[in-house]
Amino acid sequence: MEEPGLFSFEGPGCLVARRDYGFPPVKLPGWREADLGTSNLLQVLTVAGKGGLILRRAEFLEGWSRTRSGPALWKSLTAMAATGGLILECRLPKHARSLLGKLRSEGERPLFWETPSSGQIPPLYTELASQPRLLRLHLEHEWWTAMGAARGDVALLRIAVALAVCGTASAPELAGRLGITSGAVRSYLSWMEEAALIRRDGRRVELRHPLLGTLFKPPVPWLESVPMETNVPMETTPRGKTWDPIELD
């Protein structure tokens, strides 16, 4: 399982596969596939079939878990894992951790695989190299759908702008560039990791892959509202500690 999209998992059992945007989906010969973004989960589970099942956009299971049919749903999934095998494919690390935790609470011992954090440009963008407008649309979709599942809003955009300029940086370097505390930067970076927006190399971080940086370099109209540094006086707490208002995001 060293290459993106290459799996040797055969089942029975359960695997959580976290796949970065733009990388090939999990494919196994003879396995059924269903996308929970477009399929009725209960119908998928009641359709008989041989072999294992690959559930794409498995993060939707979190919503199903909160319905009345939630307990029965997970019993069906664990039964499927014990017979033909089950692969839950999702995109974001925060969802992968949640799925792993739920499976473990159901008595499963799930395996885990994820796209290596190598900074590789996703194959989709290589294929779209001759179609710059479509490539740009996919980049924006990758970024904003991840942002929709992340915390931080403008704080994360400010860090993205800084990383687009400097390429790689440590938390203290970003704190100095943005005029906020290193502690706040570390929180923002952890939120960005949960949404697969950055990658780490020791104590330094950079955007998940180089093409994301093109979203934050001029001309980008909304960048005017994302200042690199602030001249606004910081608020002072009763204990005398200074806080940038953005830290309260």
Strands (E), the chain: 14-18, 32-35, 53-56, 86-90, 111-114, 169-170, 198-201, 204-207, 235-236, 242-243
User: pLDDT of 155-171, one tens digit each?
Assistant: 999 999 999 999 999 99
Mark whether 185 and 110 lie in a shared domain: no
Same domain, 131 and 99: no
CB neighbours (10 Å) of residue 125?
18
Range of the structural domain that residue 28 is part of:
14-114
Res 71: pLDDT: 84
pLDDT 10s digits, 180-232: 999 999 999 999 999 999 999 999 999 999 999 999 986 665 555 444 443 33
- On whether the CB atoms of residues 17 and 113 are closer than 8 A, the answer is yes
Higher pLDDT, 190 or 62: 190
Q: How many domains does the chain have?
A: 2
pLDDT of residue 42: 72
Q: Measure the CA dihedral 20/146/159/121, to 10°.
A: 30
Domain contains 229? yes
Tens-place pLDDT, residues 41-54: 777 777 666 678 99
Query: Domain for residue 4, yes or no?
Result: no
Quick one: which of 21, 18, 54, 14 has its CA closest to 36?
Answer: 54
Q: Is the pLDDT of residue 245 over 70?
A: no
Q: Are 204 and 189 contacting, i.e. CB atoms less than 8 angstroms apart?
A: no
88, pLDDT greater than 90 = yes
CATH number at residue 137: 1.10.10.10
**Over residues 242-246, mean pLDDT:** 44
Same domain, 91 and 133: no
48/138 same-domain check: no
Is 67 a domain residue?
A: yes
**pLDDT given at position 47:** 67
